[in-house]
Amino acid sequence: MEHEFTDQNFQNEVLKSKVPVLVDFWAPWCGPCRSMAPIIEELANEIGEDKLKIGKCNVDENSAVAGQFNVMSIPTFLVFQNGKVVEQFVGSVQKVAVKDKLARFIS
């Protein structure tokens, strides 16, 4: 299931998460974000939450978090592990390529 991360819950849901977390920083006006949305949603349904948590963060409504992690381009994808950014990629990416980047977290 896909999560929704906000300025309010980021600390608990992402930074303190026991499993790695993929965060999709997006906004409704961003075309490439829209084309990535179904891919991220599919992955959220395919990958077990016991291995990797997946969710999106609307930068328009949650500018504090976006600023804190220097998001300057969307879509930006950050993977957090133990509160730290351990993987990041930017822009339109194919589903297979996203899976490749996540492989080391879900094996």
Partner 1 sequence: MPHNLIIIGSGPAGWTAAIYAARAELKPVLFEGPEPGGQLMTTTEVENFPGFPKGILGSELMANMREQAKRFGTEIISDNVTAVDFSARPFKVTAGTNVHEANSVIISTGATARRLGLESEKALYGKGVSACATCDGFFFKGKQVIVVGGGDAAMEEACFLTRFADKVTIVHRRAEFKASKIMQERALANPKIQVIWNSAVEEILGVDIGHVTGVKLKDTVTGETRDMAIDGVFAAIGHEPTTALFKNILDLDEKGYIKTAPDSTCTSIQGVFAAGDVQDAKYRQAISAAGSGCMAAIEAERFLA
Which residues are the active-site residues? 30, 33
Q: In the set 86, 94, 100, 104, which binds partner 1 (CB under 8 A)? A: 94
**Residue whose CB is less far from partner 1, 11 or 70:** 70
The vertex-60 CA angle with 96 and 72, nearest 5°, equals: 60
Q: Which residues pair with 54 in a beta bridge?
A: 22
| Omega cis (within 30) before 38 | no
Contact between 64 and partner 1 per CB under 8 A? no
Q: Write each residue from 22 to 61 as x if it is in contact with partner 1 (CB under 8 A), else as -, in one continuous string.
A: -----x-xxxxxxx---x-------------------xx-
The structure tokens 């906004």 sit at: 27
Distance CA 81, CA 64 (A): 20
With CB under 8 A as the contact rule, the residue among 49, 92, 100, 104 that binds partner 1 is 92
Q: Kindly tell me which residue out of 18, 48, 50, 96 binds partner 1, with binding defined by CB under 8 A.
A: 96
| 84: region left, alpha or beta (phi > 0 left; psi from -120 to 50 alpha) | beta
Give the residues lining the site for partner 1 (CB under 8 A).
Answer: 27, 29-35, 39, 59-60, 66, 70-76, 90-92, 94-96
